[in-house]
Structures are given as C-alpha cells and as structure tokens.
Structure 1
Amino acid sequence: MADLINILLRMALYVDLLLLFGVALFGLYNVGTTLRFRPMLRGMALIGALLSVAGLVLMTRAMSGETQFAALWPHLQMMLFETDVGVAWAVRMFALIVVMIWPGLWLASIAGALALASLAWSGHGAMDGAWHLLSDILHLLAAGAWMGAMLALILMSRLDALFSEAQVRSLADAVKRFEGVGAAIVLILSVTGVANYLFIVGPTLGEVLLGTYGILLAIKVVLFAGMLVLAALNRFHLGPSLEQSLRDGQHQVAANALRRSVAVELGIALLVVALVAWLGTLGPDAG
C-alpha cells in the first residue's frame, strides 16, 4: 500500500510540475492568447509545494520507520540538511514560492524549469553522473513543454472560449507556432530517451525487457509512438482544417476535432507519466 501511495504521489507531483513549466513556457511564445496564465500557475505552484511536503514526509517515514511526528522530526531535519534529496527539495520549494509571488511569465517559466529539474536530482540520473542528470533534466523539460502546450490548446479550443473570429485566429496561430516547438520537443525526447536507456541499462536489450522494468518501458515507448501519431494528425490535418474554417466561417467542427485529439494526446501523456513514476521506484533488474 505504501508503494502505491508513493507512486501516486510521484505521479501527481510530476504532472503538476510538468504542466507548470509547460504552461508558463506556452505563454511566452503565445503572447496574444486570451488564457489567464497567472491564476493557473499560482495554483499549480501551490499544489506542487503541498505535494513536495507530503512526498518528503512520506519518504522520510519510509526510510526511518517512524510514524509519530516527534520521532520523525529529527529524521526530517537530517533529510533536509544532510542529503542531496533535501537540497533538491529546498530548491524546488524556493522556485515554487517565486512562481506564487512573482507576476511575470519569464520568471515563472525559469522557476518552473528549476522546480521540474529538481525531480531529476532524486532519480536514476543523480546516481550516474552529470551527463545522465543533464539528459534527465532535458527529457523532463521537453515533456513539460509538450504537456503544457496540450493543456493550453485544450483550454483555448473550448467552444465557450471562441466567441469571435479573433479568438479562433488566436487558437489557429497558437497551433501553428507550436509546430516548430513540437519538432524540437520530439527530437529532444527521442535523443534523451535513448541516452537514458543507455545510461541505465547499457547498449543491450538482454533480459531487461522480460522483467517488470522492461515491460513498463516498452509500454511507455508504444504510448509515445501513439502520441507522435496524434501530433502528426494535429500538424498535418486538424491545424490546417482550423485555418480553413476561418475562411469558411464555420469553426465549431474544426475546434471540436482539435480539442478531442489533443485531449486524447494529453490522456496518453498522463499514462506515460504514471509509468515514469512507477519506473522511478524500480531498477532495470526488477523482475
């Protein structure tokens, strides 16, 4: 039961910080959008801080075996002040506080990136040296940029948000701007994904794919391929259809189709994050 709670907590924290960074970044390269970014970002930062506190307490409790707060407190102090996990936690909390109190998107994006990168300091990459850690961080940032854009596009494509031609044009422009960003994201995710596999497992398949770790990793790759198919559909069909709808004056069908496709894409991304949270509790030799 404790393992399940740990996995669910890790998943929730990953999703929150991925979206925090991604939504802030989306706001930077889509200045004209009508989305209200600041309330969303502040809410995500607050949730991230609460989840981080809960995660630290749960981890310390599992490692120490203590259940009473009075007995747990010295172990929490040791975790905070004497471990790399504590340093990463403190940096994350500082970054999240910055997001909550500072109004600018530039600083929110940088702080969100720092908070998200702190997750890599407690993963496999933190144990294998600087190059693996850098690869993990780039992987997280690219995934966050993708997930944040998906959430923003879903919110922008709601029919109750498309009152005028200008708002439909804003959505179409946002989809078009994401084309170049999306290509860079896919490239980074692919390269760092392969690099991380090589860092963790090595240049071999061996018996890894027959164990729990390998099966989960294979499922993750299949889901990622499904996301690529949907991204291609959005890029080459649904995006142009939305632009065509501006000329025809009938944008409801195109906006609905785009929203459904991106929503499915985001749903798959959440499954991938769940697998990442699970994989983070296992080693490549897990059977």
Structure 2
Amino acid sequence: MEDWGIIALRWALFVSLGLLFGLTAFKRLSLGSDRPSDANVRHAVALLIVAASAAALSVLGFAVQVSSMAGVPFAEVDKATVQSLLGETALGLALKVRLVALLAVIIMAVASALWRLSSSAVQALASGVALATLTWSGHGAATDGTVGWVHLAADILHLLAASTWIGALAGFLWMLFRAGSGQVGEARQTCRVLAEFATVGSSLVVILLLTGLANAFFILRDGDPWAALAAPYGQLLALKMVLFVGMLGLAGVNRLRLTPALSAAVESGDPERALKPLRRSIVLEFGLGIGILVLVAWLGTLAPNTTPVAS
C-alpha cells in the first residue's frame, strides 16, 4: 500500500477511535443520565457502528504494518509472520488489547440498544483503553527508560483530551442539526449543554497545551529545533499548531459571543436566527479538528529528523 493509503488508514483509525471515546465522554460529562431513553438507544447504535468499524480498521491496519515490516506485498503475507508479530511484539499486544476493549464496547452497545442497559462510565473506560493503544506504536513508545513512560503517558493524555474535544463537537453538531433544533425547548437544552461543557473545555485546552509541549520536548530535546522545523515533521507540527490556534479562537467566539446570543434568542422566542452562525462556527471548528487528525496520522509516519546539537 502506498504511503498515502497508510496515512488514510491511520487517519480513519484516529477518527473512529477518537469519536468512540469522545462521544461517550461527552455523553457522560454533559448529558449524564444512563436512564433508558430513545436518545440513549440512538447513542448505543452509533457506538456499535463506530466500534465495529474501528475493529475492522484495526485488523486491516495490523495486516498492512505486517506487510510493510516483512517487506512483501499485502497479499503475500504468510501466517507464520502474522503469528510471530501478533504474539511477540508491542504492536501485536496493542491490537489484542484494542480488540478486547472494542468487543466490550460492542457488547455494552448491544445491551443498551436491545435491553436499554447502559453504563457510560464503563463504555468510556473501554473505549479509552482502545484509543490509548494507538500511542503504543507512536513516538512516545520509542522513548527508552523512565522518560519513555512519562512520554507515553503524555501521549495518551493528549489523545484522550483531543478526542473528548472532537467528540463534544460531534455531539454539538448532532444537537444543532437534529430535527426540531430550532424550537425553544430544544435550543434551551443546547444552551445548557454548551454552558455546562465550557468548564470542561477550558480544562481540555490546558491539558492539550501542557501535554503538547511535553511531547515536543521529548521528541526534540536531543536535537536542533531549527533543524526540525526545516524538516517535513517540524513543518507539519507547526501547521498542526496553527489549526489548533484556529480551533481555540473559534471555541472562544462560541463561548463568549455565539452561545450568549443563542440564550438571548431563546428568551425572545426566536432561537433559529442565532443557531445559524453557531452551526457554521461548530462545523468549521470540527473541520479543523479533523484536519488536525490528518496531520497526526501523517506525523506518525515521519521521523523528526533533528540534527544533533554539537557539544
């Protein structure tokens, strides 16, 4: 498979696993209730589809990586090589843990859809474990010693926080575009959820900034940062920061201007006029988030290429 195919596959995994955790975390943090309802059933069906897709993508991704590591075409990978990498490498362990976690999510989603039995806390834990396994084949897992464990923990926390933000945006889009979203009662609920998530959103930004700086330090600490910026890895990392700042700016506009405007419009009985700019802003913010995931998928295929600093 060509490099762009591998990047597309990695991106699809980041999106599916990120939404799986993010939507569950958003429901837990903002919507809260696990009481039986049609909304919880719809949420369970969505989780079932996303989890099944993530499992299929994970198996395909492992097969592609095995093909790349063995240096043979995808169709010519032999069973012995697959078994060896599956049983003796961190890559194989990550796949097995991820599939078990996804199976747990699928079972709980089926239980919720059929019998209205739900536990968003357990779903968030299982989907979070599945998401965290993506970092086991990244730069954090390549760092040795105690520092490596700190780097890996920062990677995991960064990915969980980013996915919570993306999942929240997806949740907001569903609320803003669902049937009847322009009615006063539905718009009032949207205002409430937006307001309640504001504090969580601020915490996510702090976590993303701190873990992002930590990850950059661990990757670039033994080299020349200016040399890194001249390489594709550094340039893509800089572009990722630009998109992040764009998301941060839109989030600020949403919180300080568009959400209060929607609240005022709800009180006046005409929320539709304030929903339109908020919808546009959330769509754009979500698009920037998806763009960041493209860059994350791409960065994972590149080496930082830093030049060692002369002693």
TM range (shorter): over 0.9
CA deviation string 1:211-248 (max 9, x = no partner): 11111111111111000100000010111111111101
Tell me if structure 1 keeps the 8 A contact 2:187–2:266.
yes
Tell me if structure 1 keeps the 8 A contact 2:23–2:167.
yes
Partner of 2:85: 79
User: Which secondary structure does the structure 1 equivalent of 2:64 belong to?
Assistant: helix
1:78-117 equivalent positions in 2, closer than 5 A: 78-102=84-108, 103=112, 104-117=119-132
| Counterpart selection for 1:118 from 109, 133, 140 | 133
Partner of 2:258: 238
Deviation at 1:170, TM superposition (A): 1.4
Tell me if structure 2 keeps the 8 A contact 1:157–1:256.
no
Deviation at 1:159, TM superposition (A): 5.5
Distance verdict in 2 for CA 1:212–1:98, change over 3 Å: same
Which is worse superposed, 192-201 or 61-70?
A: 61-70
Which residues of structure 1 form unaligned runs of 5+?
none
1:131-170 equivalent positions in 2, closer than 5 A: 131-158=150-177, 160-162=179-181, 164-170=183-189
Partner of 1:31: 32
Query: Size of the alignment, in residue pairs?
Result: 287
Tell me if structure 2 keeps the 8 A contact 1:158–1:255.
no
**Partner amino acid, structure 2, of 1:115:** A
Deviation at 1:77, TM superposition (A): 0.8
User: Separation in 2 of the partners of 1:286 and 1:8?
Assistant: 26
Deviation at 1:67, TM superposition (A): 3.6
CA deviation string 1:105-163 (max 9, x = no partner): 22111111101100011100011110000000000000000000000000100152426
Deviation at 1:255, TM superposition (A): 1.7
Deviation at 1:31, TM superposition (A): 2.8
Deviation at 1:165, TM superposition (A): 2.7
| Counterpart selection for 2:217 from 185, 198, 219 | 198
User: Separation in 2 of the partners of 1:163 and 1:268?
Assistant: 25
**Partner amino acid, structure 1, of 2:124:** S
User: Separation in 2 of the partners of 1:71 and 1:168?
Assistant: 54
| Counterpart selection for 2:57 from 39, 43, 51 | 51
Matched, 1:252 2:269: no
User: Which secondary structure does the structure 2 equivalent of 1:157 belong to?
Assistant: helix
Tell me if structure 2 keeps the 8 A contact 1:9–1:55.
yes
Instruction: Give the TM-score normalised by structure 1.
Output: 0.95
User: Separation in 2 of the partners of 1:284 and 1:93?
Assistant: 30
Tell me if structure 1 keeps the 8 A contact 2:139–2:300.
yes
User: Separation in 2 of the partners of 1:215 and 1:186?
Assistant: 22
Matched, 1:222 2:237: no
Distance verdict in 2 for CA 1:286–1:73, change over 3 Å: farther
User: Separation in 2 of the partners of 1:163 and 1:239?
Assistant: 14
Distance verdict in 2 for CA 1:109–1:159, change over 3 Å: closer
Distance verdict in 2 for CA 1:234–1:66, change over 3 Å: same
User: Separation in 1 of the partners of 2:21 and 2:134?
Assistant: 13
1:15-30 equivalent positions in 2, closer than 5 A: 15-29=15-29, 30=31
Partner of 2:115: none
CA deviation string 1:61-80 (max 9, x = no partner): 11113347575211111111
**Partner amino acid, structure 2, of 1:111:** A
Which is worse superposed, 156-165 or 77-86?
A: 156-165
